[in-house]
């Protein structure tokens, strides 16, 4: 009983962190990257502003790294232990649940690689600027990897919004769940466009 209750709260926390603050950080990060579509100077200015935030390392750990670590570790646990709810949700929803798990694992891998290529390099003394990202995505293998993983991240976020609202009791009726399925699709398309256009701008 206690284990079941703990799982309930752990899943609630996992769901909440996926939207706040991780989802918010994702949107801010992509919008900063999207400044590259306005040119090298615009991106460097936006990136420089983010780097100038007071107590940046503390903020990154509290708002980004710790929530992402918990969400990722518990998410991997869910991915390899959860089963489809065939009797409770439709076949479509179960496919979405499967894709949520797959994209979650891809997102975990991508975040680790992206952190190594950018934040860790910054800690080693390299400047995070337009040229750094340009050098990364100029490699065709990296470019394909980034685009595929970006689509995985944006799907995971958009579909995760649906799961979050169901988990927290906002979407209770079947009709509301069906309507928000379309809303989450729009979110996926819009956020994917922002992200991919930013990646291509670095070329």
In the CATH hierarchy, which fold is given to the domain comprising 5-201?
A: 3 helical TM bundles of succinate and fumarate reductases (1.20.1300)
pLDDT over 60 (residue 93): yes
Query: 34 among the known binding-site residues?
Result: no
B/e letters for 92-117, b = 16+ CB within 10 Å, e = fewer, are ebeebbeebbebbbbbbebbeebbeb
Q: What pLDDT is attached to residue 86? A: 46
| pLDDT band, very low/low/confident/very high, at 90 (cuts 50, 70, 90) | confident
Whole-structure pTM value: 0.91
Query: 126 among the known binding-site residues?
Result: no
3-state secondary structure 55-99: CHHHHHHHHHHHHHHHHHHHHHHHHHHCCCCCCCCCHHHHHHHHH
Question: What DSSP line would sit under 21-59, residue for residue?
Answer: THHHHHHHHHHHHHGGGG-HHHHHHHHHHHHTSTTHHHH
Q: What pLDDT is attached to residue 85? A: 55
Q: In this predicted model, what pLDDT tens digit does every residue of 98-144 receive, in sequence order? A: 899 999 999 999 999 999 999 888 888 888 899 999 999 999 999 99
Query: 77 among the known binding-site residues?
Result: no
């Amino acid at each position: 009983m206690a284990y079941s209750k703990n799982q309930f709260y752990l899943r609630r926390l996992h769901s909440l962190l996926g939207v706040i603050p991780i989802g918010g950080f994702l949107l801010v990060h992509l919008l900063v990257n999207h400044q590259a579509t306005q040119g090298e100077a615009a991106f460097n200015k936006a990136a420089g502003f983010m780097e100038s935030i007071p107590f940046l390392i503390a903020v990154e750990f509290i708002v980004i790294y710790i929530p992402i670590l918990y969400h990722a570790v518990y998410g991997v646990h869910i991915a390899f232990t959860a089963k489809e709810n065939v009797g409770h949700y439709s076949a479509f929803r179960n496919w979405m649940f499967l894709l949520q798990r797959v994209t979650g694992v891809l997102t975990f891998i991508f975040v680790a690689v992206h952190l190594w290529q950018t934040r860790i390099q910054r800690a080693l003394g390299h400047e995070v600027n337009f040229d750094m990202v340009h050098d990364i995505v100029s490699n065709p293998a990296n470019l394909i990897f980034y685009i595929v993983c970006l689509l995985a991240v944006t799907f995971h976020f958009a579909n995760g919004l649906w799961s979050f609202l169901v988990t927290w009791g906002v979407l209770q009726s079947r009709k509301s769940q069906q309507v928000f399925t379309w809303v989450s699709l729009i979110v996926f398309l819009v956020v994917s466009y922002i992200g991919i256009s930013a990646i291509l701008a670095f070329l």
